[in-house]
Amino acid sequence: MEVRRVALGAGESYELRLTGRGARGYVWTWQVTGDADAVSVSDVSGAPPPPAEVLPGAPLERTYVVQGRCPGGRARIRFAQIRPPYPQEAPYDEFLLEVEVTSAAHAG
């Protein structure tokens, strides 16, 4: 599992791109722990391409925006790539994003 740490100012956003296996039925889900109200997470990927335009088994990229909300907060966002029809299966892939929200925006 890859782990990444970022510091965001309140109101600042971080864009995360994750390659998935959507053509094989996998989707990315996320769960926020710690100070859950310190951040918000949005899937900004847009609609997936029509099935006719995707080769079987092709990887599909998803884009998520994490925004800092409450200064002083620390949150952990666990992204897991799962197949919804089989919730008992272990995730195919996982990604952990640790976020510290500060009172001022950070330069890049």
- Per-residue pLDDT tens for 15-39? 999 998 876 788 899 999 999 999 9
The angle subtended at Cα 18 by Cα 14 and Cα 24, nearest 5°, is: 155
pLDDT number for residue 5: 97
pLDDT at 56 over 80: no
pLDDT at 107 over 90: no
Could you tell me the pLDDT band of residue 61, with boundaries at 50, 70 and 90?
confident
pLDDT at 54 over 80: no
The structure's pTM equals: 0.84
pLDDT at 89 over 80: yes
Q: What is the dihedral of CA 16, 5, 20, 91, to 10 degrees?
A: -150
- Let me know if 14 is exposed, middle or buried by CB neighbors in 10 A (0-12, 13-18, 19+): middle
